[in-house]
Structure 1
Amino acid sequence: MYMEMEYLGLLQKFLVVFVCCALLWKIIRYLLNLLNMEKDPVTVLVTGAAGQIGYALVPMIARGVMLGPDQPVILHMLDIEPAKEALEGVKMELIDAAFPLLKGVIATTDVVEACTDVDIAVMVGGFPRTEGMERRDVMSNNVSIYKAQASALEKHASANCKVLVVANPANTNALILKEFAPSIPDKNITCLTRLDHNRALGQISEKLDVHVSDVKNVIIWGNHSSTQYPDVSHATVTTDSREMSVSKAVSNDQWLKTEFIATVQQRGAAIIRARKLSSALSAASSACDHIRDWVLGTPKGSWVSMGVYSDGSYGIPAGLIYSFPVTCEKGEWSIVQGLKIDEFSRTKMDATTNELIEEKSLAYSCFNE
């Protein structure tokens, strides 16, 4: 009798262990399925997609450079009618590349089709200024382009669509888009100054002979133009396992206030002179950096430069699209506050502010043409 009871007790224990193991295995399988579960695709619009920057950008997006290696995407590509055939060729190449993350491609010249259900819009297309062309003519053409695209985004894009304007004049084109898409939140319309930010990082890393990842917290203030102010007064560099200010590491204030600033400001023109074409590769890469940090967040203790809607911080008039240092978290950017601005920096910041005020006035004068 005793043996039978002992046997039953062991059997009960075995059954309990068996049930617990089965439940644990179900939980493990569930968690593994969650980890392996494919995310819903994000729809990304690229305008001017048949151009040089667009051609460099779309494969980066399709490969996961912009949104991460586990984020499926659907690409919407827009261009003008004369580029229709070239645009179709870009689509063919995307299909031929067999990107695992690419879940669909639309290539179109119809702005409404392009903007429908878009989660992220990268506005690369614009009207470039050519030799002998008046600034007003360039601005008038861009007003026309961005008015149409803004209206389509407002009516047909996703409710929380994030917009990055790349086409020059980028700050003012972003402002034009904001004016004609009033229901898109101010915080969702930005312009690209990350290219200038990356150029500044590159120049400092070259000067100090360190890896670019060892340099952080440079700032681009103002306009994406030759008046922009690349500021390293708050930047740091890690050398020999210790962090120090860039100013101290460079130990050449004259270089930092003259040659360094001029090099960053004129880098685009220098690349055009060298390769007889614009800086498409670095612009595309920087656009990916901009969106990635905006969506996925900036590293703790670091900031990046973004052209954003000014709230009056650092004395910059509210309502301008101006490049500030920002941190990003949970899909939102915030201007870094409390940085000390010396007299030299204030003069540079005011100069680029004045240019943006002039551009804004010129753009507004074209609204009713």
Structure 2
Amino acid sequence: MQAEPIRVLVTGAAGQIAYSLLFSIAKGDVFGQDQPIILLLLDITPMLPVLEGVVMELQDCALPLLKEIIPTDKEEVAFKDLDAAILVGSMPRKEGMERKDLLKANVAIFKSQGAALDKYAKKTVKVLVVGNPANTNCLVAAKSAPSIPKENFSCLTRLDHNRARSQVAMRCGIPATQVKNVIIWGNHSSTQYPDVHHCKVNMSGSELTCFDAIKDDDWLKGDFITTVQQRGAAVIKARKLSSAMSAAKAICDHMRDICCKSLLGYCHWTWKIVDSLAINDFSKSKMDATAAELVEERDTAVTFLGV
């Protein structure tokens, strides 16, 4: 007997990240191969003709798990009875735009979407904020949805995590699956800190620390960090478009590992904060720098929220 469909929202659904993402969701890569899905696709009114083309392509894929597709520009339709929400759409930074203007525009978007979650979605909804500045937008959405548990909200740094694992793996000449316990601290921006001080690498059947496996502390404390921090900009420079494919893959990874195990009832699975993690002075200085940026963004956003 087939399970009841879950209702999954993707915002910015006519954009390039969503275009890379929707097929994976609809074919079962995220919520499971036996979980039917109703896809709700939200975008702004001028993008509805493009969104209709996306709907046609999804229909033409003839995916057995995809039970219904609902394209809309109305929040009251998009957020109704949601089980999961992936908030991809946001205001991009335009030429000449000040950072505070970008924050102001996105506060308005995510305040509205948070309120819509609060009013229309299930209280168990799992929310992933992708649109940048992701950390601050996530805070705004969570503050605007007071009836939904704060632990149901998260923002996407899985792309940075995947990038960091891949860099270590390529340096060691092994698959990324043999690299674990990489940590991304702080803002999803160029101040983020990819930390490998707790990272373990499996090489030839032996588990080594990342520093012992690579044997190049200068690289790990220098070029490795800047490469991960600036990877998004490097992709844009190379392909003249943002990193949609890898972002979509990271969204799938995040939703499957962080949100969906609890959403789909895997033994009351939940995430938790790791206590008593040793942090050295080098890491602390990097964490302090990105924390300062996050606090500044938060304080600016709160003034626009009016709280």
What is the TM-score with the length of structure 1 in the denominator? 0.80
**2:174 counterpart residue number:** 210
**2:48 counterpart residue number:** 84
The runs of at least 4 aligned residues of structure 1 exceeding 2 Å deviation read: 295-298, 328-331
Distance 2:189 2:41 in 1: 27
Residues 296 and 76 of structure 1, relative CA distance in 2, 3 Å threshold: closer
**1:233 counterpart residue number:** 197
The answer to whether the Cα contact below 8 Å between 1:67 and 1:295 also exists between their aligned partners in 2 is no
The answer to whether the Cα contact below 8 Å between 1:295 and 1:331 also exists between their aligned partners in 2 is no
- The alignment status of 1:257 with 2:221, answered yes or no, reads yes
**1:306 counterpart residue number:** none
After TM superposition, the structure 1 = structure 2 runs for residues 1-369 of structure 1, keeping only pairs within 5 Å, are 37-295=1-259, 297=261, 330-368=268-306
The answer to whether the Cα contact below 8 Å between 2:201 and 2:208 also exists between their aligned partners in 1 is yes
| Gap regions ≥5 residues in structure 2 | none
The answer to whether the Cα contact below 8 Å between 2:126 and 2:259 also exists between their aligned partners in 1 is no
Distance 1:361 1:329 in 2: 38
| Gap regions ≥5 residues in structure 1 | 1-36, 299-327
Q: How many residues end up aligned between the 2 structures?
A: 304
Equivalent position amino acid for 2:276 in 1: G
Shift of 1:296: 5.1
Equivalent position amino acid for 1:292 in 2: R
Could you say what secondary structure the match of 1:118 adopts?
Answer: coil
Equivalent position amino acid for 2:210 in 1: V
Q: Which structure has the larger Rg over C-alpha atoms? A: 1
Equivalent position amino acid for 1:339 in 2: L
Residues 251 and 297 of structure 1, relative CA distance in 2, 3 Å threshold: farther
Shift of 1:332: 1.6
Distance 1:296 1:338 in 2: 27
| Highest RCO, 1 vs 2 (Cα 8 Å, sep ≥ 6) | 2
In percent, how many aligned pairs have the same letter? 54
Distance 1:42 1:244 in 2: 42
What is the TM-score with the length of structure 2 in the denominator? 0.96
Shift of 1:367: 2.0
Could you say what secondary structure the match of 2:39 adopts?
Answer: strand
